[in-house]
Chain A
Amino acid sequence: MMRIAVAALCCALAAPAAVAQAYGERSALPPGCERACLEKAAGAYVDALRQRNPSAAPFAQDIRFTENSVEMPVGEGLWATATDVARDGMMASDPDTGNVAWFGHAWEHGKLLFLAIRLHIDARGKIDEAETVLARKGTMPLIFGTGKEPHNPIWKQALTPEQSRPRARLKAVADSYFNTVEYNDGQVFAHFKPDCSRLENGISTTAATANSNNSASVAEGCEAQFKLGIYRINKQLRERRFPLIDVERGIVVGTTFFDHANYFDEYKLTDGRTMKTLLKWPNALSIMEAFKIVDGQIQTIEAIFDYVPYGMHSPWAEEKK
């Protein structure tokens, strides 16, 4: 009798699913664009950008485009200034949601910049969302590489079943990284591989070199830096989103703002050393960050970010209201 009742309840609840989709999904149908299809679209976007020719990219009619968290028509921003785009971008794909990402560098009127792109591809293979974060070398104290640092080859490797984790866990690990960065006082929420590395705007910030002038010169390695509380200035990591989870390769792409309120202009590391903030006034970083997660631990990270006004809002986050 109980068995029948449960079965009936099951069917009663299941019936509406035939006409509705899971909460937050735009369609009950999977997008239908697999890895090759997604990466082809990303390649077409990059090629079109290289030519400053939006009509060469497979854009949907209702394309939404943002550059550093400002919505604008395709054709403006970097589309009007790009002179070349690197050929060796790091890519990640999420066939379950139709998202694909590209991390690399480009040139604007001949000047190097770092670029992260997140595209959403619709069921027809058309790009209907293009979200970009650019890091330009300006007057602000921004970490900035030379464009010669290679992407870690591990990004391209598929994980074994033992190394892999389900989507929800991958997202949780990436979020635990953001939790660790936020109000970084030495408490570490994320799990890191011992040889974890990070590339930020094309430069390693976890392995010191002779000319290092960033976090790596204070402490090397992902976990060591966080235990030291180097990133204490991050009042909050706001409007976090994880639009892409590449389960096959163990990659999560997240976006957020690092809010540097700078209520204080110096702070202490957990070992007692005193640090001065680079700037004394409120500012924020708009960031797109990719995490390679192996065995549930962060193996490597790439991030592209640039300064934006403190508290700036993401047009993409509005959709979550």
Chain B
Amino acid sequence: MRPLLSMAALAAATLALPAAASAAPCDEACLLDLADQTMTALAKQEWRSLPWAETVGYSENGVRLMIGDAFWGSAGKTPGKKAFAAADASTGNAVWIGTMYDHDAPAFGALRIKAPQGQIEEIEFIVMRRGLPGGFGDPTAFAIDKRKARLVATAERRSRDRLVDVANAYLGTKQRNNGTLLAQFAPDCEFRENGLSLTHGTTGPAALAKGCEAQLKLGAYRPIERIRDRRFPVVDEASGLVVAISLQDMPQRDTSFTTTDGRTVSTADTYPMSRIAIELLRIEGDKVARSEGVSVMQPLNMPSVWKE
């Protein structure tokens, strides 16, 4: 029986050999280059030029689609303007975040590709367009804090698993936010979303308190009942970077919530919805120093198409 199994395995390996031989592992530079190529191809609406794997998964704002449809037909000729990109050769993922265009309309956009062998196996766009519910800054001025790319001091570096634990603890703190901190935050920590500061602006949670820890101690994110389908496709230990993608449910059972200091906060201007969020987290030591990203409204409880 055993020889038979070995023969079968050998046959499979032989069959697989041509494809494996033609594909070389893609390092970080290769992944970043592929992400740039993808954005160039998008502006030209020419997807055929990209190196595709035999089977490809594609989604836009949480919906599986065919390559060539949707954004590949509406993308403007203006190439996207990169605000930040990062890659993780150990997962084969790269993320490109910046200004993207539909026709002449700018939007906040994020692209994730997975191409461990240099051929794109997965491609995902998360794009916040003007008109969709939620805060919307100036997408043409979309920038990511330069500290994101800086190396973390050696003593402050943490392992990949630890960084993901901290990222999870941050999301856990936001989920059903009741004032309990499950994560630590740097004193100058800032959250930014769709070009707006959530912690240092004048509206939304920033109107209640300034700063990450102060807001979370206050329970300012209480309307988020569940943060599910969390993924961490890119982790960089040297820069303390974790890319977190999640679905956040806000069922809006009540029109107000109470902060931990007893204030009643109205949420009457919203309705039940979920949102898909991609966040670039900067973690220094065990502390969350920054979250910047893009989030887009989804129908309430929308399932994830990228379940791991």
1/0 per residue, CB under 8 A from B, across A284-321: the answer is: 00100000000000000000000011111100000000
1/0 per residue, CB under 8 A from A, across B58-92: the answer is: 00111111000111011000000000000000000
Complex CA distance for A257 and B132, rounded to whole angstroms: 18
Complex CA distance for A168 and B252, rounded to whole angstroms: 42
Complex CA distance for A310 and B102, rounded to whole angstroms: 14
Count of interface residues, chain A, beta-carbon cutoff 8 Å: 34
1/0 per residue, CB under 8 A from B, across A56-85: the answer is: 000000000001111110001110110000
In contact, B268 and A109 (Cβ under 8 angstroms): yes
1/0 per residue, CB under 8 A from A, across B244-282: the answer is: 000000011101000000000000100110000000000
CB distance from B256 to the nearest CB of A (A): 10
B: contact size bracket: 20 to 34
Cβ contact of A310, chosen from B60, B299, B300, B302, cutoff 8 A: B60
Kindly state whether residue A141 has any CB partner on chain B within 8 Å. Answer: yes
1/0 per residue, CB under 8 A from B, across A125-158: the answer is: 0000000000010111100000000000000000
CB distance from A112 to the nearest CB of B (A): 11
* Given A80-B253, A281-B102, A311-B65: A67 and B271 interface contact (C-beta under 8 Å): no
1/0 per residue, CB under 8 A from B, across A77-121: the answer is: 110110000000000000000000000000011010000000000
Kindly state whether residue A195 has any CB partner on chain B within 8 Å. Answer: no
Residues of A within 8 A of B299 (CB): 67-70, 286, 308-309, 312
In contact, A261 and B74 (Cβ under 8 angstroms): yes
Complex CA distance for A308 and B303, rounded to whole angstroms: 13
Residues of B within 8 A of A311 (CB): 60, 63-65, 69-70
Kindly state whether residue B131 has any CB partner on chain A within 8 Å. Answer: yes
In contact, A77 and B70 (Cβ under 8 angstroms): no
Ordered by A's residue number, 17 sampled pairs between the chains whose C-beta atoms are within 8 Å are A70-B300, A77-B251, A136-B271, A139-B133, A261-B74, A262-B73, A262-B74, A262-B103, A279-B131, A280-B74, A280-B129, A281-B102, A308-B299, A310-B63, A311-B70, A312-B299, A313-B63
